[in-house]
Amino acid sequence: MKAVDRFAPTTLAGVPPLWVQLLEIEWPQSTANHLKRLTNSGGALTAPLVHGLRARFPQADLYRTEGVLQDIHWYEGIFGYFPTYALGAMIASQIKFNCPLFDIFLGNPNEENINSLIIWLNSNIHQKASLYSSDEMLQSISGENLNPKYYLDHLVDRFIK
């Protein structure tokens, strides 16, 4: 909000978590009035977010899913990042399903369980990430190389169940 007040941009691009944070603070109407366009990327806006953004910034056009060419990679021509995002999501899913503390953490995300999870991640991933290949690290965690089954299981858990 301070940057909008200071620099008076007419367009603000963001992702749903940013919109939530921006709606949690009070905006002087003179500052909110600078914005003529709000562009979203990185996830669909929920109905309450759309309602909140339209109430807070009634003068701004809301572009719910297009964003400004989706993200920085499109207009800079850096298309090589997308395969690495997909690989990262697959690796993360395999780690998630093979971390013995993940379900415990989800069931009770208290400080003790968070610390235990951080210790496990440090011991099994962070300290080894630049010493071993991804497949070697995954072998030590799950007993197999990169397996897309884990990512499919993650997608089913997240979007279908």
Tell me the whole-structure pTM to 2 decimals. 0.55
Fill in the amino acid letter for 132. Answer: Y
What pLDDT does residue 23 have? 93
Give the C-alpha separation, 22 to 56, whole Å. 9
What pLDDT does residue 67 have? 46
What is the gyration radius of the CA atoms in the chain, in angstroms? 20
Written as six digits, the tokens of 25 are 């603070």
What pLDDT does residue 58 have? 95
- E strands present in the chain: 11-14, 37-40, 61-63
Q: Which residues contact 99 (CB under 8 A, 6 or more apart)?
A: 117, 120, 121, 124, 141
Give the C-alpha separation, 73 to 82, whole Å. 9
- Walk me through the domains of the chain, giving residue ranges and CATH numbers: 2-72 (3.40.50.980), 81-159 (no CATH)
Give the C-alpha separation, 14 to 42, whole Å. 8
Fill in the amino acid letter for 48. Answer: P
Q: What is the pLDDT along the chain (161 residues), one digit of tens a residue?
A: 888 888 888 888 888 888 999 999 999 999 999 999 998 877 778 899 999 999 999 999 998 875 444 555 655 566 666 677 788 899 999 999 999 999 999 899 899 999 999 999 999 999 887 899 989 999 999 999 999 999 999 999 888 87
